[in-house]
Amino acid sequence: MDSPVLSLPWRHPLEAFVSLRDTPYSLLLLGDGDEGRWSYILAHPRTASLHGQAEAALGWAQAHVDALEAATSPPGAPPLRTGVAGLLGYDPGCPKGGPPSAVALYDLVLAFDHQTRTLCLQEAPGACPRRRAALLPGLAASPPPPVGATGRVADVEPRANFGAKVEAVRSRIAEGEFYQANISRQFEGCLGALDHPFDLFRRLAEASPAAFAAYLRLPGCAIVSNSPERLVRIRNTPEGRIALSSPIKGTAPRGASPEVDALNAQDLLASEKDRAENLMIVDLMRNDLSRACRPGSVRTPRLFELTTLPNVHHLVSHVEGMLEPDRTAIDLLEACFPAGSITGAPKRRAMEAIREIEGAPRGADYGSLFWAGTDGELDSSVLIRTATCRETPDGWSVGFRVGCGITSDSDPEAETRETEAKALKLIAAIGGEGS
């Protein structure tokens, strides 16, 4: 059956989403990954569910996307039409009142084509007219005046503690427990008195656009993500379903001048430590993809590419394979979650060490935001550069993590500075002072 499509007047998604910023399970995906052509608004789902574990959320997602009638779409249609989407939290349980995993079934999707400046509403067969009527009127609402960054945020531990954790990881690597582990620092604070999580999201989008920027409103909290990293994607092609992943590992700060900036980038590209660190995660991702892909199809077409963001340079590699005919996109996501770039290698042993060394649950941090369509396609991010905002009697609290991969060659002071470079844009957007 053809998917009903309604053309609407163009509006930028940041403006169109304002009226939905406090609607439960409203989701804005800004920029459609590294291509940047598409943005999406998903709101007023047919049904939604909170889960204590990512595995349960993925099981729910598979059952519900299977139950939604698939619709055909013409060539050139948006990659995301209708299906399931949501949050996979890194930890089981419910840390600090925020659900670790939440997923919803969306039969109404607004697709924004930045290339042609067109906007359409896509519907699955049988979508409820009442929910459509609730979605459309707010699209023309005028956004409120911009709010400045007047909050505060700081490291929850003394700076020196992170260096001690780096040394603890190095000692365990020397003892042969694992090869690499990604250890993070936790920052906490609050937004300004008149501030809102969506204002924080807008400030981040303007100051440092990210390939996987997303805003998700859940009961009692909001996820504000400025992530540059893809976890895994599935694309349908005439040859079959291609699985793609782009792990990030290796970071250098931007320079204060063009000359210093270029030197920092060159040093990163030449760094044996960072290249080895990246290659460990590439190997891990190859293993994860192989769990759902055809034997012999997994390959690495590009290694150690330089990607430059407003505050840091990264090394990015690309891994791909052909999905097995009897495996679903959600099967692949489960095989790859959580990302090796924010755990370590071997993954399970590194995760056990992370729990012991960090001493606190990660919650949404280092989880994933994903969507899966009725046509079998999927895309997902790694929730780095991501803040969790929680409603309190006094306004909004805010917290986030920044981390780095630790190897036997890691220098505690250099790794500490790397986390601070990664935190700069979030700290500035919140309005706080780093510790």
CATH number at residue 341: 3.60.120.10
User: What is the Cα–Cα distance from 197 to 200, expressed in whole angstroms?
Assistant: 5
What does the DSSP assignment read for 89-136?
A: -SSSS-GGG--SEEEEEESEEEEEETTTTEEEEEE-TT--HHHHHHHS
Cβ within 8 Å of residue 407, ≥6 positions away: 170, 173, 179, 180, 273, 276, 277, 280
Q: Is-above-0.85 flag for pTM? A: yes
Look at residue 97 and tell me whether its pLDDT is greater than 70: no
CA–CA separation, 164 and 149 (whole Å): 32
**pLDDT tens by residue, 303-326:** 999 988 888 898 999 999 999 999
Q: Is residue 10 part of a domain?
A: yes
The total of structural domains in the chain comes to: 1
Shortest CA distance to 197 belongs to which of 423, 398, 427, 381? Answer: 398
Mean pLDDT of 98-114: 90
145 found inside a domain = no
146 located within any domain: no
**Would residue 262 count as lying in a domain?**
yes
Residue 4: is its pLDDT beyond 80? no
How many residues in the chain?
435
- pLDDT band of 435, cuts 50, 70, 90: very low
Question: At residue 32, does pLDDT exceed 80?
Answer: no
Angstrom distance (rounded) from CA 240 to CA 379: 16
Is the N-terminal amide bond of 144 cis, ω within 30° of 0?
A: no
268-285 residue pLDDT tens: 999 988 898 889 899 999
CA-to-CA distance for 432 and 196, rounded, in angstroms? 15
Cβ atoms of 53 and 92 within 8 Å: the answer is: yes
The residue segments making up the domain with residue 377 are 5-138+152-430
Determine the pLDDT at residue 276: 87
Three-state SS across 252-299?
EECCCCHHHHHHHHHHHHHCHHHHHHHHHHHHHHHHHHHCCECCCCCE
Q: What is the DSSP string of 301-363?
A: EEEEEEEE-SSEEEEEEEEEEEBPTT--HHHHHHHHPSPGGGSEESHHHHHHHHHHHH-S--T
Positions marked catalytic: 229, 249
Residue 403: what pLDDT? 95
Report pLDDT for 137.
85
**How many Å from the N-terminal Cα to the C-terminal Cα in the chain?**
57
Domain membership of residue 144 (yes or no) is no
Reply yes or no on whether the pLDDT at 98 is more than 60: no
Q: What is the pLDDT of residue 434?
A: 45
- Give the model confidence (pLDDT) of 72-92 as tens digits: 666 678 888 899 999 999 986
Q: Is residue 147 part of a domain?
A: no
* Span of 30-34, 37-41, 80-84, 382-386 with lowest mean pLDDT: 30-34
User: How far is residue 382 from each of residues 29, 88, 230, measured CA to CA in Å?
Assistant: 13, 10, 6
Res 94 pLDDT > 60? no
Going by pLDDT thresholds of 50, 70 and 90, the confidence category of residue 406 is very high
In terms of Cα–Cα distance, which of 59, 9, 352, 393 is closest to 181? 352
Q: What is the pLDDT of residues 186-210, one digit of tens each?
A: 999 999 999 999 999 999 999 888 9
In a domain, 435, yes or no: no
Mean pLDDT of 101-108: 95
